[in-house]
Structure 1
Amino acid sequence: MSAISSSLKKTPSHEEDAEAERNRRRGRWVPWIIALFYLSFMTALVGFVFIAYAHPPAESTAEAYEKGLAYNDILAKAEAQRQLGWTSRVDYKSGRLTFALTDRGGHPVQGAVAKAWFVHPGNPADDQSVELREAGAGVYSAQATLPSKGVWTLHVSADKDGQAYQAVATTEVE
């Protein structure tokens, strides 16, 4: 019986042996491919972590966290300014800043203390402030020569008898 069963067993042919060897060799690369895949991601991750630590974010707004916490105060001041009803016109031409302020009835607001801040969006070192002098009839002005060309954000504040007003405008310096 064992002679019959041994003759019924199929013996691998040379072709099957060659195929099995090819499959074994092909499978040998699979763990290396998987390891290389994860290694490439880890290399990129380590590179990004290095860049993040080598270049910390720049803070262009001083005390940004504290200003963020005080946002409700800012909203209350904006509402108080809206209730005040004052309007303004800001103009910057040929190095001269002019700020005109009128009350709810359209009458000029005279005797206010006014100040302006020029903010450069790309270079905070160029930011500067100027005191505005009253030129009459609610018009305040000052000479302000800006150090570089470009678009500037202009913040103007006026205070009269404890009533505060702020305006924001953009101007292009050529």
Structure 2
Amino acid sequence: MTAISSAETQAEIDRRRGRFVPWIIAAFFLSFMLPLIAFTVLAFRHAPSEVTPQAYEKGLAYNSALAAEAAQAGLGWRIAGAYDHGAYHVTVRDDDRPLEDARVEVWFVHPAQKALDRHIVLTAQGDGIFSAPANLPVRAGWTAHVTVEDKGRQVQTRFLFEN
């Protein structure tokens, strides 16, 4: 008497297992490809911020910037800036002689938010001292970019301060 076996043959088992192997391989590669595609889409939708506008052009003009800096240093002007109780003061001297008729401007640059930047023109107080109220909106470590112009000559400098 022969027994009828309901057990599958080895070939049938291998054939059934073989159906899942391509899916396992596809899942393996998709687990790598999906994040790569997602990061590529993010990279193209959110371009990196520009740290320095026209960086290439500024790099080409670097020698002229060095020449302008040397000419500025040759003027011999001494400039000091200070923030005190809501006002900004700049003292300008040319070989220990105070500059009286200069035009002095200050740009206050916030370290994180460009919308908070401010610009003021200082007025002469006498003896080479220029000042104006500087209503800075928040407490921060500010950078003051100072431009002093007198008789066609110009000096630019900057000062760091906290208000």
TM-score, normalised via structure 2 length: 0.76
Choose the corresponding residue for 1:142, options 116, 121, 132: 132
Other structure's SS at 1:57 match: coil
Give the whole-Å Cα distance in 1 for the aligned partners of 2:142 and 2:136.
Answer: 9
Cα pair distance change 1:65/1:127, threshold 3 Å: farther
- SS class of match (2:36): helix
**CA deviation string 1:126-145 (max 9, x = no partner):** 11100010111111111010
Q: Is the 8 A contact 1:60 1:124 kept in 2?
A: no
Instruction: Answer with 80-89 or 51-60: which moved more.
Output: 51-60
Range 123-132 or range 45-54, more displaced: 45-54
Q: How big is the shift at 1:87? A: 1.2
Which residue matches 2:103?
A: 113
CA offset at residue 116 of structure 1?
0.3
The aligned length equals: 155
Q: CA deviation at 1:95?
A: 0.9
Paired letter, 1:91? A
Alignment map for 1:59-98 (pairs within 5 Å): 59=50, 66-98=57-89
Secondary structure at 1:121 match in 2: coil
Q: Distance in 1 between matches of 2:24 and 2:61?
A: 54
Give the unaligned 5+ runs of structure 1: 1-27
What is the TM-score when the length of structure 1 is the normalising length? 0.72
Report whether the alignment pairs 1:170 with 2:148: no
Indicate the structure (1 or 2) with the bigger Cα radius of gyration. 1
RMSD, aligned α-carbons = 3.1
Q: Is the 8 A contact 1:119 1:154 kept in 2?
A: yes
**Which stretch shifts more, 37-46 or 156-165?**
37-46
1:1-174 alignment runs, 5 A limit: 36=27, 38-59=29-50, 66-103=57-94, 105-173=95-163
Identity of aligned residues (%): 43
In structure 2, stretches of 5+ residues that fail to align are 1-18
SS of equivalent to 2:35: helix
Higher helix share: 1
